[in-house]
Each structure stands twice: as C-alpha cells, then as structure tokens.
Amino acid sequence: MIEKVLKGNSNYWMWLAFLTAFIAVGAICYLRQFLFGMYLTGMGRDLSWGLYISQFTFLVGVAAGGLMLVLPYYIHNYKIFGRLTILGEFLAISALIMCLMFIMADIGQPLRGLNMILHPTPNSMLFWDMVVLLGYLTLNVICGWVILTAERKQVKPPKWVYIFVYVSIPFAVSIHTVTAMLYCGLPGRHFWLSAITAPRFLASAFAAGPALIVIACLIMKRVAHFDAGKEAINKLTTIIMYAAIINAFFVCLEFFVGYYSNIPGHKYALQYLFFGLEHNGHVYNNLVPFMWSSTLLCFGGLGLFAYMKISKVNTDLLVGIGCAMIFIALWLDKGLGFVMGGLAVNPLHEIVEYYPTANEIGITLGIWATGLLLVTVLYKIAVGVEHEVEA
C-alpha cells in the first residue's frame, strides 16, 4: 500500500515540498537547540514550560478526537462513518508522533530519554502518559493498517483486530485524561489544580479532532475525489457543536469558581488571560487578544453551525469555515492559553510573561509540518485504497 505515496499529481508534490521546507528549517533550528542549549527558547526559570508542551497537550487532544468517529461506528454500528474511521485512526497516528517529537524537543537531555523506561516510576504521571501514548499509537497502527488492508482485499477484517479496536476506545480517553493529570495534580498551580481540567480537555479534544477531520475531508473532496458523504459531515458538525459547547460551559464554570469564591489564586490566571493582570503599576496582558479571539471564534463557529442547522443551508464552504473557526479557537485556548496562563504567576507570586523565540517557533512549525506531511501521506494511502476498491 505504501507505493500509493509515490504516485501523485504536481499539486501533491508541491504540497509535500512546501512542508519539507518547513521541516528542514525546523531541523536546523532543533540542531541549534541541541548543540547550544535550551536558552535559545523563550522559556526560563519561572516559565519553564512553553510552546512545546502546550502543543503537545493540544495534539494529544487531536489524537483522542478520532474517538468520535471510532466509537459511533464500532459501538453503535453507525455505518455512515464507515469511510471515515480510518481517517480518525491515521490522524491519531500523526498527532501522536507530533506529540512524541514535541516531548523530545522539550527535554534538556534528549539522549537520556530512555531513562523513562530504564527507571520506570509509577508515581509520575509523565511515566503513565508515555505508557498510554505509546499504547494508543501502537493500537492505531495495528487497527488502521489491518482494517485498510482488509478493505483493499475486499474481505472482512480479521476478528482479532476488533479486540484492539475496542481497547483503543478507553485508551483514547486515557491519553487525554492522563495528559490532564500532568497538570491538575500539582499543588500550588491553582489554575491547573481543578478537577474539571480532564473533562475540559476531553470536550475540547472531541471538538478539535473531528473539526480537523472535516476540514481534511472537504479538502480531499476537491483535490482527491474523496467524498465522505453529506450525512457524515453533517453528523460530525453536530458532534463538534456539542463538544465545543460543553468545553465553553466548563470554561464558564472555571470563571464562576474563580470569581464567585474570590480566591486570588483561582482568579489570577483567568484575569491574566482575559483582562490583564496589574502588578506594581504594570499591566501584564499579552495573551488577552488571543483569548478574546478564541472566545469570538468559538461562539462565531457555533453560531454559524446553528444558522446552518436551522436554515438548512449547507455548503461545504460554510462548514469548512465553521470547523476552522472552532479548531483555531480551541488551539488558542489549549495550545496557548492553558499552559501559559497557568504559569504567568510564579510560585513566588511574581508575574512573568512568555515570548517564544524565533528558533523555538521554527522547531514548532517544523514539527507541525512533519505531522501534516504524515497526515497527507497516510490519507493518500487511505484514499488511494478507496479509489482502488471503487474501480
């Protein structure tokens, strides 16, 4: 099946070349960081986690989001998602590989990474995160490949693979739950120390993951003659709406707890993110525009979907715009705000703001480009097999 990657039109190759350029820049930036040290990033003593970890957190969500396709199809026998589940699995593979790359980019001694396995530490959530991420990656590789191979041969997938499919469902939930537990079990980090962190992560994941899949479907409809079907897309937008609404609801709950209880620790991060935090005559607010953009995009996207559902207008363009709005909103919220907001006030109650450096952004873009390249290649295989079966 891999041979399908090597056949494509000029647009396909142009797109791959475009991504490769970013990957090359990212690789050079990473080499610089590897050779000279992590002072080349914008992270520091107080803000010791930054863009890498926040991208990791967001992408774990994207990986888990595939569950919203797998679960209806395999548990509820919702046949309409039949052509899409493979896309969910392949997206999960790419997102997980990006996650692992972000972790490797983030650690100070990458050559000692295997210490996680040589000295396993069950009381560390990072250890369990490694376990579930590698587990989910393995499950998706097995399920995706076996099911696609079966489809190509036009036979039913072997029975044993369903065990892996069913196991992958709780695994999808676990990857994002354990990732949330990295944050929500830390004493003294009030913004993160909230039992709603994990449910909120899951809700935003179940919106962001499917949103990306819908966008991919719409693109492939134009460039690769792959039609997911109107009903499937429609159902996905419904799922995205519900998940995004639940996520917004959870954020509102955080606001209530912070502002009604009036406990400063619970308020600081929200105040910093949305209104700016004043300290010794200086207002710290560099994330405010991002967070309000996130809010507007989220409600804008939801409004657009609501309008389409009510007035029965249903064009690909509007669906695409809606999904993109929701995806960007959730990225701003979780891929930027969550980590940096939680760190703005340090344990000594000093306020520190974060400015990623060009080198750091280069690495981040490089890893995103690697992920997109993987998605492209994997989707090329999936769509190629579909066409082969149809022919």
Partner 1 sequence: MDKQRRKFLKIAGAAALAGISAPVVVKLTSSPALASSTGHGETPAHAAPADAHAATGHGVEEAPTGVRLGMLIDMRKLYGHPELLEKLAAVCHKVHNVPEIDGAKSEIKWLWDVPFENAFPEHSAYHASAITKENNYLVLCNQCDEPPCVRVCPTKATFKMPTTGVVAMDYHRCIGCRFCMMGCPYGARSFNWMDPRPYIKEYNADFPTRMRGVVEKCNFCSERLALGLEPACVEAVKDIGAIVFGDLNDPNSEIRRRLDQDHTIQRKPSLGTKPSVFYIV
CA distance 63 to 301: 22
Minimum distance of partner 1 from residue 266's CB (angstroms): 14
Which C-beta is closer to partner 1: that of 170 or that of 347?
347
Minimum distance of partner 1 from residue 284's CB (angstroms): 14
What separation, in Å, do the N-terminal and C-terminal C-alpha atoms of the chain show? 16
CA distance 51 to 269: 17
Amino acid letter, residue 127 = F
Which C-beta is closer to partner 1: that of 279 or that of 387?
279
In 3D space, the residue among 367, 338, 361, 334 whose CA is nearest the CA of residue 104 turns out to be 367
Interacting residues toward partner 1 by CB under 8 A: 36-39, 41, 43-46, 48-49, 103, 106-110, 112-113, 115-127, 130, 138, 182-183, 185-189, 346-350, 352
Inter-residue contact 58 to 65 (CB < 8 Å): no
Take residue 209 and report the two structure tokens written for it. Answer: 């993951």
Minimum distance of partner 1 from residue 186's CB (angstroms): 5
Inter-residue contact 365 to 19 (CB < 8 Å): no
Amino acid letter, residue 291 = M
Which C-beta is closer to partner 1: that of 124 or that of 238?
124
Which C-beta is closer to partner 1: that of 18 or that of 39?
39
Take residue 124 and report the two structure tokens written for it. Answer: 């560390």
Minimum distance of partner 1 from residue 372's CB (angstroms): 26
In 3D space, the residue among 240, 279, 307, 287 whose CA is nearest the CA of residue 51 turns out to be 287
CA distance 275 to 260: 17
Minimum distance of partner 1 from residue 46's CB (angstroms): 7
What residues does 258 pair with on adjacent strands? none
Which C-beta is closer to partner 1: that of 203 or that of 367?
367
Which C-beta is closer to partner 1: that of 286 or that of 346?
346
Amino acid letter, residue 361 = I
Minimum distance of partner 1 from residue 79's CB (angstroms): 30
Which C-beta is closer to partner 1: that of 83 or that of 176?
176
Instruction: Give strand ranges (E) for the chain.
Output: 277-279, 282-284
Minimum distance of partner 1 from residue 164's CB (angstroms): 13
In 3D space, the residue among 46, 43, 42, 26 whose CA is nearest the CA of residue 34 turns out to be 26
